[in-house]
Amino acid sequence: MLEKEHAKLIDHCRVMESDLLYYKERVVEAEEINENLRSVGKSSINEVMDELKDLRTYNIYFSGNKVDELTNDNARSQFDLAVRNNEKDRLRSDLE
């Protein structure tokens, strides 16, 4: 009976040792992540995510404005071209 309990205890210790190694690796990975965050002036992944969301919102907002701006520029250019063409037609008719 004692040998059986001893074998169970040894198996349990092996499992715990495996778990400890796994968690040590995760701690090393977490420390690397924290160091990378500190190198960019952040303290958490949530901060990075919030900044990315803000940048995405900023880009969407200004991209939309850029499309509107280019559309307005195009309309102005077409109007200017129409005015010039009309002036040319008027000058041609005056010359005839």
Residue ranges covered by each domain of the chain: 1-42, 44-96
Q: What is the pLDDT of residues 45-88, one digit of tens each?
A: 888 888 888 887 777 666 667 777 778 888 888 888 888 888 87
Find the mean pLDDT for residues 21-29: 95
- What's the per-residue H, E or C state across the chain? CHHHHHHHHHHHHHHHHHHHHHHHHHHHHHHHHHHHHHHCCCCCHHHHHHHHHHHHHHHHHHHHHHHHHHHHHHHHHHHHHHHHHHHHHHHHHHHC
Lowest average pLDDT, out of 14-18, 36-40, 55-59, goes to 55-59
Measured in Å, how far apart are the chain's first and last C-alpha atoms? 122
